């Protein structure tokens, strides 16, 4: 959902698992929807880790642990690998996350998050492991994600890092604009390109 | 610099946004039923039409049943999704190969076999295995649904240009070692994130020697190394494959096209952001033991001592255990990875004169109706049936189990698909990725078997 980004301060939900693939984020059987109801996808986020086959919650999974809440998901290295399904980003957004912090994201999923106004924040391995330790020590600790200045800060330890975000995407996020809005203004340039390259 | 990737990518850039992405022109968009409904819905919400409908081809493949396709799909939710694609294609004026059309099949099998995917093109689809089409010498990659909407609306997407990587494999693959084994070997070596951020060019003698089917398999699995895509520079093997196909250039256009395609190669002075070299003689038939495709070992190897405990618990394996001789419940031949004619020939070569093992359920699913017709023309169906196997109707099938072809919880499936993620073939299903030869060896022995002992 299009929404403006500025400064976000929130508690975090920790998922210290590496190589979380998009089949785990949202299993294939939930991809049959023809609509974009984020609530539906959010309810099934991490479905098979979060619920047993009979629908009862798995108490040890972090989304079922009442100590953790907030709009920032903190995940292990190589988050979002595998399938290109944008449903994974819809599920993350639908659950209520606005930011995902990890030390490494898979390419397609990273774009999908950005296109759905979920901000992937890439931090160093050192920042990430310290952040997991901070959350573990105090689930109520907060992280500040400052989009205008591109800084992420662990407010428990004060450790702060700059994160990458190109100025085009930053402008889009801060003004709730998407790529299609931009592309639709390029009709002439596209037609010129087609003529020039005989496509 | 001066890589083939640079040449193709740069020649498709309409505009570069300062400190931002590039606007990339797309020559071909493929649409399947799962990742497009919301994109068409987006066009309707904005009140716009498709910008270049003649460059877009649609077909259902993920939900399609692999039997009784002439009857309505039993699962109403699957049916609704398949029907939605047909309706959207009609509304927006796009070519659509419906479920019982003789042109239908898995999108990544049909595109190349119809001559829709050609050298030098940019090709996208809302599917990570779009990298398959790189085998034609194209820059092909998977995108999300928002990006599908971008292409529908403008025939362009906004993308950051990936870095370039050369993976060179010199030497020859041994007997019984296939392109699938080569890909699983590469993932074992560089991991499932080893090529993230890169576009891969596969080079070297072992790559050049691959048939088009083998090249399609190798490029298909690029995404499993994390790469955005992977491709092979076009050569005589490519031109031979394309010639005469339905959408291939004809007559004088053909000659002009081949002239151009011959220029599509990395310069001798090409500089890649990363280069890796492997020796093909090191590659053995591979199987996976874990829950991502990088967790593979040679079929006669043992489960690594340092394997992730969570994955081994899911798979029911222990460190140090041998894979040979492990009981197999299901065998799946098919998918955009291994659903082509050569894969069926390979499978048939092992099972010929043998019988399917008692208790093994085997799903043999051609990648397209064209593949199935060729199976029949070559008489492979009679060999397979004589050995107790049945050939099903085309679709993605048990690779991701969106239709009825689901592996029950706890059961082991040797799969020629592309992913062994938890629950990929059904909740609790345990997937062992392998080549068609290794799958065939398991199908007739009922256990994990080295196909080299059965050639």
pLDDT at B93 over 80: yes
My answer on whether B94 and B186 are in the same domain is no
Q: Are B261 and B268 in contact (CB under 8 A)?
A: no
My answer on whether B25 and B139 are in the same domain is yes
Closest by CA to A131, choosing from A122, A141, A121, is A141
Question: Chain A: residue nearest B18 by CA?
Answer: A168
Are A108 and B18 inside 8 Å of each other by CB? no
- Answer yes or no: is A135 within a domain: yes
Phi first, then psi, for residue B173 (nearest 5°) are -70, 140
My answer on whether B197 and B296 are in the same domain is no
pLDDT of res. B307: 96
Instruction: State which residues form the domain around B352.
Output: 287-450
pLDDT at B237 over 90: yes
My answer on whether B31 and B173 are in the same domain is no
Closest by CA to B32, choosing from B147, B140, B127, B157, is B127
Q: Are A32 and B402 in contact (CB under 8 A)?
A: yes
**Tens digits of per-residue pLDDT, A163-192?**
999 999 999 999 999 999 899 999 999 999
Q: Region B382-397: what's the mean pLDDT?
A: 97
Measured distance CA(B203)–CA(B233) in Å, rounded = 8
My answer on whether B169 and B210 are in the same domain is yes
Measured distance CA(B143)–CA(B157) in Å, rounded = 9
Q: Where are the beta strands (DSSP E) in chain A?
A: 7-10, 12-15, 72-75, 99-102, 119-122, 143-146, 151-154, 160-162
pLDDT of res. B194: 97
Question: Chain B: residue nearest A180 by CA?
Answer: B150
Are B127 and A167 inside 8 Å of each other by CB? no
Question: Chain B: residue nearest A35 by CA?
Answer: B38
Q: What is the domain count for chain B?
A: 3
Alpha-carbon gap: A88 to the closest alpha carbon of chain B (Å): 10
Q: Region A150-168: what's the mean pLDDT?
A: 97
The kind and range of the H/E element at A181 are helix A179-183
Measured distance CA(B12)–CA(B141) in Å, rounded = 14
Q: Region B363-371: what's the mean pLDDT?
A: 98
Are B146 and A83 inside 8 Å of each other by CB? no
Pairs across A and B, CB distance < 8 A: 182
User: Is the CB of B71 inside 8 Å of chain A's CB atoms?
Assistant: no
pLDDT of res. A2: 85
Quickly state the pLDDT bin for B289 (edges 50, 70, 90).
very high
Best of A179, A184, A187, A191 to mutate (most B CBs within 10 Å, chain B): A179
Q: Where are the beta strands (DSSP E) in B246-344?
A: 274-279, 286-288, 296-298, 330-333
pLDDT of res. B1: 84
Q: Region B408-427: what's the mean pLDDT?
A: 97
Alpha-carbon gap: A25 to the closest alpha carbon of chain B (Å): 11
- Average pLDDT value for chain A: 96
Q: Region B421-446: what's the mean pLDDT?
A: 97
The residues, ordered by sequence, that sit 6+ positions from A121 with a Cβ below 8 Å of its Cβ are: A99, A100, A101, A102, A145, A152, A163
- Answer yes or no: is A1 within a domain: no
At residue B144's C-alpha, the angle toward residues B74 and B27, to 5°, is 100
Are B128 and A77 inside 8 Å of each other by CB? no
Are B37 and A112 inside 8 Å of each other by CB? no
My answer on whether B291 and B274 are in the same domain is no
- Which residues of A are less than 8 Å from B42 in CB distance? 180
- What is the DSSP track for B384-400? HHHTT--B---SSGGGT
Measured distance CA(A192)–CA(B226) in Å, rounded = 35
Of B84, B147, B401, the CB nearest to A34: B84
Prediction ipTM score: 0.94
Are B144 and A77 inside 8 Å of each other by CB? no
My answer on whether B416 and B355 are in the same domain is yes
Alpha-carbon gap: A121 to the closest alpha carbon of chain B (Å): 16
Instruction: State which residues form the domain around A168.
Output: 7-196
**Tens digits of per-residue pLDDT, B312-347?**
999 999 999 999 999 999 999 999 999 999 999 999
pLDDT of res. B12: 98
Are B48 and A83 inside 8 Å of each other by CB? no
pLDDT at B23 over 80: yes
Alpha-carbon gap: A72 to the closest alpha carbon of chain B (Å): 22
My answer on whether B43 and B119 are in the same domain is yes
Alpha-carbon gap: B39 to the closest alpha carbon of chain A (Å): 10
Last-in-domain residue among B106, B132, B159: B159
pLDDT of res. B417: 98
My answer on whether B26 and B96 are in the same domain is yes
User: Is the CB of A134 inside 8 Å of chain B's CB atoms?
Assistant: no
pLDDT of res. A198: 77
CATH of the domain at A99: 3.20.19.10
- Which residues of B are less than 8 Å from A84 in CB distance? 35, 126-128, 130, 142-144
Q: What is the domain count for chain A?
A: 1
Are A84 and B19 inside 8 Å of each other by CB? no
Alpha-carbon gap: A70 to the closest alpha carbon of chain B (Å): 26
At residue B439's C-alpha, the angle toward residues B312 and B187, to 5°, is 55
My answer on whether B352 and B258 are in the same domain is no
Of B142, B158, B428, the CB nearest to A183: B158
User: Is the CB of A38 inside 8 Å of chain B's CB atoms?
Assistant: no
Q: Which two tokens mark B245?
A: 């196909």
Are A48 and B144 inside 8 Å of each other by CB? no
The residues, ordered by sequence, that sit 6+ positions from B47 with a Cβ below 8 Å of its Cβ are: none
Q: Region B291-299: what's the mean pLDDT?
A: 98
Q: Region B276-282: what's the mean pLDDT?
A: 98
Residue B447: Cβ-neighbour burial (10 angstroms; 0-12, 13-18, 19+): middle
Note the residue count of chain A: 199
Measured distance CA(B283)–CA(B301) in Å, rounded = 12
- Which residues of A are less than 8 Å from B18 in CB distance? 167-168
Last-in-domain residue among B101, B132, B159: B159
- Answer yes or no: is B87 within a domain: yes
Q: Which two tokens mark B272?
A: 């890649």
Best of A60, A180, A198 to mutate (most B CBs within 10 Å, chain B): A180
At residue B422's C-alpha, the angle toward residues A54 and B110, to 5°, is 115
- Average pLDDT value for chain B: 97
Bridge-based pairing of strands B122-125 and B95-96 is unpaired
User: Is the CB of B1 inside 8 Å of chain A's CB atoms?
Assistant: no
Are B144 and A111 inside 8 Å of each other by CB? yes
Are B193 and A81 inside 8 Å of each other by CB? yes
Q: Which two tokens mark B3?
A: 């890589």
Are B20 and A169 inside 8 Å of each other by CB? yes
Last-in-domain residue among B159, B192, B224: B159
Q: Are A123 and A163 in contact (CB under 8 A)?
A: yes
User: Is the CB of A16 inside 8 Å of chain B's CB atoms?
Assistant: no
My answer on whether B324 and B387 are in the same domain is yes
CATH of the domain at B77: 3.30.499.10
Quickly state the pLDDT bin for A199 (edges 50, 70, 90).
confident
- Answer yes or no: is B455 within a domain: no
- Which residues of A are less than 8 Å from B20 in CB distance? 166-169
Measured distance CA(B212)–CA(A161) in Å, rounded = 47
**Tens digits of per-residue pLDDT, B185-195?**
999 999 999 99
Question: Chain A: residue nearest B28 by CA?
Answer: A199
- Answer yes or no: is B337 within a domain: yes
Quickly state the pLDDT bin for A7 (edges 50, 70, 90).
very high
My answer on whether B29 and B41 are in the same domain is yes
User: Is the CB of B349 inside 8 Å of chain A's CB atoms?
Assistant: no
**Tens digits of per-residue pLDDT, B40-83?**
999 999 999 999 999 999 999 999 999 999 999 999 999 999 99
Are B48 and A107 inside 8 Å of each other by CB? no
pLDDT of res. B118: 98
- Which residues of A are less than 8 Å from B401 in CB distance? 28-29
User: Is the CB of B32 inside 8 Å of chain A's CB atoms?
Assistant: no
């Amino acid at each position: 959902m299009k929404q403006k980004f500025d400064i976000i301060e929130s508690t975090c939900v920790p998922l210290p698992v590496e190589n979380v693939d998009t089949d785990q984020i949202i299993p294939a059987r939930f991809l049959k929807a023809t609509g974009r109801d984020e609530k539906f996808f959010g309810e099934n986020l991490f479905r098979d880790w979060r619920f047993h086959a009979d629908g009862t919650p798995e108490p040890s999974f972090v989304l079922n642990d009442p100590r953790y809440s907030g709009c920032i998901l903190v995940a292990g290295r190589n988050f979002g690998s595998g399938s290109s399904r944008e449903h994974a980003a819809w599920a993350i957004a639908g659950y209520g996350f606005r930011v995902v912090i990890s030390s490494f994201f898979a390419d397609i999923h990273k774009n999908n998050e950005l296109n759905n106004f979920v901000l992937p924040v890439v931090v160093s391995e050192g920042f990430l492991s310290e952040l997991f330790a901070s959350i573990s020590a105090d689930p109520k600790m907060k992280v500040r994600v400052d989009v205008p200045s591109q800084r992420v800060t662990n407010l428990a330890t004060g450790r702060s890092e700059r994160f990458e975000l190109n100025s085009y995407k930053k402008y889009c996020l801060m003004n709730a604009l998407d790529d299609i809005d931009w592309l639709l203004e390029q009709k002439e340039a596209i037609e010129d390109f087609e003529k020039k390259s005989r496509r | 610099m001066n890589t083939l990737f640079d040449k193709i990518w740069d020649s498709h850039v309409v505009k570069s946004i300062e400190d931002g992405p590039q606007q990339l022109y797309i020559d071909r968009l493929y649409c399947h039923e799962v990742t497009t409904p919301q994109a068409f819905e987006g066009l309707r919400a904005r009140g716009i039409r498709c910008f270049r409908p003649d460059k877009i081809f649609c077909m259902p493949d993920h939900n399609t049943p692999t039997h009784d396709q002439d009857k309505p799909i039993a699962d109403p939710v699957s049916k609704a999704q398949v029907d939605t694609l047909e309706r959207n294609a009609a509304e927006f004026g796009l070519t659509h190969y419906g479920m019982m059309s003789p042109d239908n099949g898995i999108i990544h099998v049909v595109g190349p076999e119809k001559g829709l995917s050609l050298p030098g093109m940019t090709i996208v689809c809302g599917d990570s295995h779009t990298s398959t089409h790189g085998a034609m010498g194209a820059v092909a990659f998977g995108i999300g649904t928002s990006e599908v909407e971008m292409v529908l609306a403008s025939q362009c997407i906004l993308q950051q240009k990936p870095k370039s990587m050369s993976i060179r494999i010199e030497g020859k693959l041994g007997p019984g070692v296939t392109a699938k084994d080569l890909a699983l070997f590469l993932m074992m070596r560089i991991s499932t994130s080893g090529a993230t951020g890169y576009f891969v060019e596969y080079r070297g003698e072992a790559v050049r020697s691959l048939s088009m089917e083998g090249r399609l398999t190798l490029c298909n699995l690029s995404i499993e190394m994390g790469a955005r895509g992977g491709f092979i520079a076009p050569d005589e093997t490519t031109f031979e494959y394309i010639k005469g196909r339905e959408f291939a250039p004809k007559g004088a256009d053909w000659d002009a096209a081949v002239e151009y395609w011959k220029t599509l190669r990395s310069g001798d002075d090409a500089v890649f952001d990363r280069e890796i070299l492997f020796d093909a003689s090191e590659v053995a038939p591979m199987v996976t033991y874990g829950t991502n495709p990088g967790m593979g070992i040679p079929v006669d190897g043992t489960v690594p001592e340092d394997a992730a405990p969570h994955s081994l618990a899911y798979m029911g394996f222990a460190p140090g255990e041998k894979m040979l001789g492990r009981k197999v419940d299901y065998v799946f031949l098919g998918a955009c990875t291994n659903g082509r004619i050569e894969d069926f020939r390979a499978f048939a070569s092992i099972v010929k004169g043998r019988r399917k093992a008692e208790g093994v359920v085997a799903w043999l699913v051609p990648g397209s109706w064209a593949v199935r017709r060729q199976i029949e023309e070559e008489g492979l169906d009679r060999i397979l049936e004589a050995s107790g196997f049945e050939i099903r109707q085309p679709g993605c099938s048990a690779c991701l189990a969106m239709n009825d072809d689901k592996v029950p919880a706890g059961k082991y499936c040797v799969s020629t698909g592309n992913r062994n993620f938890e629950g990929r073939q059904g909740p609790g299903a345990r997937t062992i990725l392998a080549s068609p030869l290794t799958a065939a060896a398991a199908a007739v022995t009922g256990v994990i078997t080295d196909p080299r002992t059965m050639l």
